[in-house]
A = this chain, B = another copy of it.
Amino acid sequence: MTTNQEEVKLLGAVGSPFVCSVKIALKLKGIEYNYHEEDLSNKSDLLLKYNPVYKKVPVFIHNEKPISESLVILEYIDEIWKQNPILSSDPYQRALARFWSKFIHDKIVTTSIKAFRIVDDEKEREKNVEESSEALQILENELKEKFFGGNEIGFVDIVAVFIAFWIPLIQDITGLQLFPAEKYPKLYKWSQEFLNHPIVKENVPPRDLLFAYFKARYESLIASK
Contacts and interface: CB of A to CB of B under 8 A. Distances in A.
B103 A76 contact: no
Contacts of A175: none
B68 A94 contact: no
Given A69-B99, A69-B102, A99-B69, A76 B53 contact: no
A198 interface: no
Taking the full assembly, how many copies of this chain does it contain?
2
A113 interface: no
Contacts of A1: none
Contact of A68 (B53, B91, B99): B99
A95 interface: yes
Given A80-B91, A94-B79, A102 B72 contact: yes
A138 B76 CA distance: 23
Contacts of A69: 98-99, 102
Given A53-B138, A138-B53, A76 B102 contact: no
A92 B73 CA distance: 10
A47 to B, nearest CB: 16
Contacts of A28: none
A76 to B, nearest CB: 4
B99 A72 contact: yes
Contacts of A80: 91
Contacts of A92: 62, 65, 67, 76
A202 interface: no
A65 B73 CA distance: 27
A79 B102 contact: no
